[in-house]
A = this chain, B = another copy of it.
Amino acid sequence: MNIILFEEKEISSTYHIQITDHRAKHIVKVLRSQVGDRVRVGVIDGGRGMAKIVAIKPKFPFSVDLDIQLETTLPEEKPVIDLVLALPRPIMLRRILSQVTSLGVGRIFLIDSQRVEKSFWQASLLQNEQYREHLLIGLEQAVATRLPEVSIYPKFKGFMDELLVKDLDDYSALIVADPAGTNTFSEALRQAGGSLRQGGRVLLCVGPEGGWVPAEVDQFSGCGFSICTIGERILKVDTAVIALHSRIMALREIL
């Protein structure tokens, strides 16, 4: 936890807050802070700053009183990559959500695919925004405050229909990672080079273990997606998501 995050509604009009949960425990046990120390803080989807510890109860139940001074009022800029992810196994999804949030993504679309095990859709993680805590872990790691927006599409077609109508124009580059892909990432990004340099956004789609089925690849292709090879080595989805995100970020910087 490299930043202590608050909900905006937790903070009083005098910018004072008392916390008694895992954040208080972290300040006491990990940071070993004392009264008078300052800690880095942020408001979820808001600004960042520092907070001075004005009172502390270092024994269970922990309690920490903070006076907050925000240095910014807005979160960092929206990351340029949005991620479409064929719904993975819940245990893997948890880790991916934290990791991609720490790397930076604007939106996360969790979608169905032929090779997604249907039982994954019953995961409690997807109910009542329980996934949100794993996004927060990623923000706390990365010292960021902008929460990725998560959209869930239990039908592949439902996702594609809505994307075509609503969101497709948001992107300068549309990339599907697939073992059968023939384009390289650098080719796909170079085609969009000019608009990427001007802040254009990238939509990256990562399939399930076993990959997208050909009919899905065809639909992406028909909508203008570039089907990109991920190299000869077969990667697990959690490794692939980080690897492909990083590949795009690196190439985007120098195109």
Contact = CB atoms under 8 A, between A and B. Distances in A.
A249 B251 CA distance: 10
Among A141, A142, A143, A242, the one with the most B-chain Cβ atoms within 10 Å of its Cβ is A242
Given A103-B239, A253-B186, A143 B246 contact: no
Nearest to A137: B236
Nearest to A247: B250
Interface in A176-216: 184-186
A254 B253 contact: no
A156 to B, nearest CB: 25
Contacts of A185: 250
Contact of A143 (B104, B144, B234): B234
Contacts of A104: 233
Contacts of A243: 103, 242-243, 245-246
A244 interface: yes
B236 A184 contact: no
Contact of A246 (B2, B186, B232, B247): B247
A193 B141 CA distance: 33
A172 interface: no
Contacts of A249: 247
Contacts of A186: 250, 253-254
A251 B254 CA distance: 9
A99 interface: yes
A180 to B, nearest CB: 15
Nearest to A255: B254
Contacts of A99: 236, 239
Nearest to A3: B234
A245 B184 CA distance: 17
B184 A233 contact: no
Contacts of A141: 234-236
A102 interface: yes
A102 B235 CA distance: 6
A102 B239 contact: yes
Question: Which 6 interchain pairs have the tightest Cβ spacing?
Answer: A142-B233, A246-B246, A243-B246, A247-B250, A242-B242, A250-B250
